[in-house]
Structure 1
Amino acid sequence: MAQDSEKLLSILKLQPVVPVLIVEDVASAVPLARALVEGGLKAIEITMRTPAALDAIRAVANEVEGAHVGAGTILNAKDFEAAVKAGSTFIVSPGVNKSVLEAAKGSKVPLLPGAATASEVMHLRDKGYKVLKFFPAEQAGGAPYLKALSSPLADVVFCPTGSVSLKNAKDYLALPNVVCVGGSWVAPKELIAAGDWAGITKLAAEAAALRG
């Protein structure tokens, strides 16, 4: 089964910036997600990098109205299935392997797979994937690299993630092959630790106002 691009795009097009979150404490997940949604960022990626990640996804999925929670840093089928079971509405991987692609085949939850080179993009395109994560964005060539791909691979669109910030987000969003960007700057660790949800809502509102 090819990627459900329509379902994935309906989520990614909700906003110009998808927050990429590392949640250390599940108790912060719900107020953090509510702050982001209040600021206009409804699609939220919680990365599977901490022991709290699955519980955080489950809590946001169950308790935060208006949120579309996804799971990031999915590296294998086991994590894919666990994230779906926890309530993820989309799955994000930094690259691709057979395990993740096989899990995606049998799932109703769409996969946003990562690619960093033209060859990787072509490989995924051949498998029916036309909405990709460009990662690590800045390190892999940044906006100029994606612009160069827009002509030969015109039917593929990207969500660049990796050292994307308020400063350079507009460079990506101005490109015809970029649907949104992923970024962690909207939820800094220090604001999460301080419980400064109003501060995060303000950053989210600034990000939501970005346009290409």
Structure 2
Amino acid sequence: MSPLLGILSLLSALAVTGDALICTQCTSTSSSCTGNSVTCSAGSLCSSTYTETVEDGSPSVSLTKGCTVSSQCNFNGSMSMLLGNLRMVISCCSTDNCVPSIPALPPTNSSRNGLVCRSCVSADSSWCYTSDTMRCTGEENKCLLQTTKVAGILSTAIRGCATKSLCDLGSQSQIIEGVSTDVKFICTSGGLSVHKVVLTPAIVCLLLLKTFF
């Protein structure tokens, strides 16, 4: 798995937190999966988190089922870097072991929105900085720094463009199969002028690698 794809695959589990309903928990690299049942926390619903990642023109998909806090249901958003992009949707249902339908991914939009952000990827650090920039498109009107820390194993960072909906997910922490993961999303609507380089704050984001499922 390439560094970028490994970092982005963390997003597929971003919303799977908590423990109320009994829900199926599983992950796969297709549009379906099966797994064991888990008990969710109060205020959580059964969810399907579906992502499409494109790196250097090559697409891949992932599906994560589990428990998601109700405020994150009906989510859709995207993020882009110079090397690729990711689109994600979350759907929910509210009965034991129900199977949420997978909604359509948000449409792609190549129209530039005027925002310019720095873009870099680090597979071994929670910080990256570069003079490389990208012009944001469509609804991706926030600059992003995504940092992920997997306790004692891995730190990653991404800079690029993101939708406000992705930024609003905020900082998250979780422990799955004894592995703790912490992620922060920090976004700004300020960007880089095409003619003047200015350092922009960014977004931090979390998910767990498929190897931890």
TM normalised by structure 2 equals 0.29
Q: Between Structure 1 and Structure 2, which shows a larger proportion of strand residues?
A: 2
Q: Between Structure 1 and Structure 2, which shows a larger proportion of helix residues?
A: 1
Structure of greater Rg: 2
TM normalised by structure 1 equals 0.29
Task: Kindly indicate whether structure 1 or structure 2 has the higher relative contact order, using CA contacts under 8 Å at least 6 residues apart.
Answer: 1
